[in-house]
Amino acid sequence: MRSTRALATAAALLCASALTRAAGAQIPDTLPTAAGTLSPPVGREATARYNAPVALRVTTATTIDSGRVVEGDVAALEAPLTIAGVVRGSVVAINANVTLRPGARVDGGIFVVGGAVAGLEGARVGGEVRAYQAPLRYTREGETIAVEEPTSGGEPLLAWVRFRDREEPDNGLRVRNNATYNRVEGLPIYGGPFITRRLRRGTITAELFGVIRSADNFAWTSENIGHRATLEARSSGPVQLFAGGRLQDVVDAVESWQVSNSEAALGTFLLHRDPRDWYSRLGGTAYVGIRGARGASLTASLSDERWASRRARDPWTLFRDTQQWRPNPTVDDGRFHTFRLTGTIDTRNDAANPRVGWYASAELERGKGEIDAFGTRSWIAPTNGPLVPPRIDSYRRGFLDLRRYNRVSPETQLNGRVVLGGWLGGDPLPLERQLSLGGVGTLPGYDFREAIPGEDKLGCHGAVPAPGKPGECDRIALAQLEYRVDLGLERFRRNVAPLWYSEAAVVVFLDAGRGWRVDDRRDQGLGVRGGKFPSLNTFQSDVGAGIDLSLFGVYIAKALSVKNESPNVYVRLKHRF
């Protein structure tokens, strides 16, 4: 069992290396997109690439003959492009096909929207090849194009209801369900006025929202009332600069990365199971950032807030409404000053149904604070004083979520994900910033906050867990590897299968991970001394399979690291990651 577990763990943790080597494969077919539409980042990237200076721009069917060399980029709009010669740059085609003749050479990459790429097997392409089935809806502005904005609809159910002044369409009232249904708030509803001013080089947006929570039948109490006021200025163009500030009294999740907001809300509303813990944030945040055309962004923020514990209440649920909720764990109440730097890179062909590309999200946080009341922990502080000092002079925390989507063939994918996060130095982390693993979003072979025999390597709890079983890990490491095989139902889309069913795939997966503490003073054998990375044979692992119907998936997972653990059958919305 020990060797099997070590082998499974090593395979999952090394998936990033294997995926990187496989990423260079070029598949000469078109990549589908969800619901026949392009994601906003892809649309912005397409227009930015077309509008950029190029050596050759064509709007009629064009062939670059075998003896011709184009010194720079090539852009095609609504015009088939055939390449037999050499392009010493990249190629972008919008609502057009690109055909490569044997011996053709493109030094850069090929980016196609609303078309296909043919002939890759006999040509030489130096960069990445991406193609999207869905066409780009655009408007002409002289020699440039812009993404056509939707005129109505488009927002998901319960996302927002909007009432506009006909003479001033950028002003009005907005009502939103801006957060997830949870056991602390019930349904939090945000509503209030908004103002947008469009300037020559950007926009300025202001929102003033009040918050009312449905718990206790919308009782008009301090627990049920909050606010969020935002002011932001953003430049226009493919690369956007933005700056803003926010004053808020809201409830936020301790860990929101494991499952999506929709999954957390439905799990709470339907099954009386809230997979998150919650705390309140009262204060202000100022931020600045930059966003690029290819889903890249970088944001720096500075916050001064009071964090406080919230109690679980009794919002209504469709099933199991008479059961007791899992207690919402207490946190370290106090005033905290934080500086946070977050960055994202997204080269996926489609955010909803990715087939190729990278997604990386990273966060660095430095904080300090003064604690008024400590949250309950499952370990006992040493006799020489509290483990977390009343004043935190400085803690440093990081978080990295790295994903690679790779097409092995037109019908198969090999996808991988690595998550690393936790304490980087300084004082111990407050409870609001500690982490955990386990459950459908990370290691589905193990129940959420499950008590497993021996050392707790998922929640880092002591012998007697604190009420609600808060995550108490200083650090976590997780690797997920999946192999997907399309069922090829898209050919039945028009006659038999609805859209969401036509992208069905069989999924086989392997996960491995664990959490640990890094402070040598902590007892009960839960720490890894000296800040070292734990041995791979101490990781918890599972294996599973299922069918992904795009809109939702049904899976079965079995824990490998614990004997006599029953398999778990569960449902996920959209994809696993």
Q: Are 264 and 276 in contact (CB under 8 A)?
A: yes
Q: With 60 as the cut, is the pLDDT of residue 382 above it?
A: no
The predicted model gives 76-93 an average pLDDT of 94
Measure the CA–CA gap between 473 and 516, rounded to whole angstroms.
5
Among the residue ranges 495-504, 529-538, 568-577, the one predicted with the least confidence is: 495-504
Q: Mean pLDDT throughout 4-27?
A: 43
Same-domain pairing of 94 and 9: no
Q: Is residue 8 located within the same domain as residue 120?
A: no
My answer on whether 537 and 423 are in the same domain is yes
Give the CATH number for residue 366: 2.40.160
| Average confidence (pLDDT) over 96-101 | 93
DSSP per-residue letters across 99-117: EE-TT-EESS-EEEESS-E
Q: Are residues 436 and 494 in the same domain?
A: yes
State pLDDT tens for residues 291-319. 886 678 999 999 999 999 999 999 999 99
Last residue of a domain, one of 79, 114, 147: 147
| 31, pLDDT greater than 70 | no
Q: Residue 128, Cβ neighbours under 10 Å: how many?
A: 16
Q: How confident is the model at residue 501 (pLDDT cuts 50, 70, 90)?
A: low
pLDDT in tens, 423-433: 999 999 999 99
Give 403 or 524, the one with higher predicted confidence. Answer: 403
The per-residue pLDDT for 329 is 96
Q: What is the mean pLDDT of residues 523-532?
A: 55
Mean pLDDT across 366-382: 82
pLDDT at 243: 97
In this prediction, residues 205-223 reach a mean pLDDT of: 93
Domain finish residue from 88, 114, 147: 147
122 within some domain? yes
Number of domains in the chain: 2
Under the banding of pLDDT at 50, 70 and 90, the label for residue 384 is very low
Residue 119 has what pLDDT?
86
* DSSP-derived secondary structure for 65-101: -TT-EE-S-EEEESS-EEE-SEESS-EEEESS-EEE-
Residue 245, in any domain of the structure: no
**483 in any annotated domain:** yes
Range with the poorest average pLDDT among 52-66, 221-235, 348-362 = 348-362
Whole-number Å distance between alpha carbons of 336 and 392: 9
Residue 152 has a pLDDT of: 41
Same domain, 440 and 530: yes
- The tokens for 241 are 């600069």
| Res. 509: pLDDT tops 50 | yes
Are 140 and 11 part of one and the same domain?
no
Percent of all residues in the chain with a pLDDT value above 90, rounded to a whole number: 55
Same-domain pairing of 43 and 18: no
Query: What pTM, to 2 d.p., does this model score?
Result: 0.75
- Least confident segment among 393-397, 541-545, 547-551: 547-551
Domain end marker among 147, 167, 188: 147
- Per the domain annotation, does 276 fall within a domain? no
Residues 439 and 482 grouped into a single domain = yes
Lowest mean pLDDT among 87-101, 375-389, 469-483: 375-389
Q: How confident is the model at residue 527 (pLDDT cuts 50, 70, 90)?
A: low
**Separation of alpha carbons 269 and 498, rounded Å:** 27
At 35 the pLDDT is 40
Is 441 inside any structural domain? yes
Higher pLDDT, 186 or 522: 186
The residue among 530, 447, 511 whose CA lies nearest residue 456 is 447
pLDDT at 26: 43
Check residue 7 and give its pLDDT.
Answer: 43
Q: Which domain holds residue 101?
A: 39-147
Higher-pLDDT residue of 528 and 170 is 170
In a domain, 170, yes or no: no
What is the predicted pLDDT for the residue at 159?
Answer: 37
Mean pLDDT along residues 357-367: 95
The answer to whether residue 563 is domain-embedded is yes
With tokens 């980016």, the residue in question is: 111
* Average pLDDT across the chain, whole number: 83
Residue 13 and residue 137 in one domain: no
Pair (363, 457) in one structural domain: yes
SS3 190: strand
Reduced 3-state DSSP string for 148-161: CCCCCCCCCCCCCE
CB-CB neighbours of 233 under 10 Å: 16
- Residue 268 host element (H or E): helix 261-271
Place 97 in a pLDDT band, splitting at 50, 70 and 90. very high
* Residue 383 binned pLDDT confidence (cut-offs 50, 70, 90): very low
Q: Is 476 exposed, middle or buried (0-12, 13-18, 19+ CB in 10 A)?
A: buried
Ranked by mean pLDDT, the top range of 114-118, 151-155, 269-273 is 269-273
Where residue 388 falls among pLDDT bands split at 50, 70, 90?
low
Cα dihedral 253→466→540→406 (10° resolution): 0
| Cα–Cα dist 433/575, whole Å | 27
Please indicate, yes or no, whether residues 97 and 7 belong to a single structural domain of this protein: no
Tell whether 333 is covered by a domain: no
Residue 170 confidence (pLDDT):
66
Same-domain pairing of 557 and 427: yes
What's the number of CA atoms in the CB half-sphere (13 Å) around residue 333?
12
